[in-house]
Amino acid sequence: MNNRRKMLLRLSQLQFAAWELHMYLDTHPEDSQAAMRYEQFSFEYKRLLREFQEKYGPIVKPAYGNEWLNGPWPWEITKEGDC
């Protein structure tokens, strides 16, 4: 496994852990240890994401807003594959 894939795997793990703790804290807001772990995972995720983006570029392609509005609407297509 190359370094890029290792970083992606670690990002996925950190994001999952942070999200699970986020949901847990919705029902257990008084759990200070869980809140501290959430902050740690979130900080590490943001740090690793910055490092990944500096080395390999963005993880997701940026969206360009309303370009989909320029295409045909479903009722404007007269035959399959006609655009």
Domain that holds residue 10: 3-70
pLDDT in tens, 6-51: 999 999 999 999 999 999 999 999 999 999 999 999 999 999 999 9
Q: Is residue 77 one of the residues assigned to a domain?
A: no
pLDDT for res 74? 79
Return the HEC string of the chain.
Answer: CCHHHHHHHHHHHHHHHHHHHHHHHHHCCCCHHHHHHHHHHHHHHHHHHHHHHHHHCCCCCCCCCCHHHHCCCHHHCCCCCCC
pLDDT at 79 over 80: no
Q: Is residue 82 one of the residues assigned to a domain?
A: no
Q: Is residue 79 one of the residues assigned to a domain?
A: no
Q: Residue 80: pLDDT band by 50, 70, 90 thresholds?
A: low
Domain tally for the chain? 1
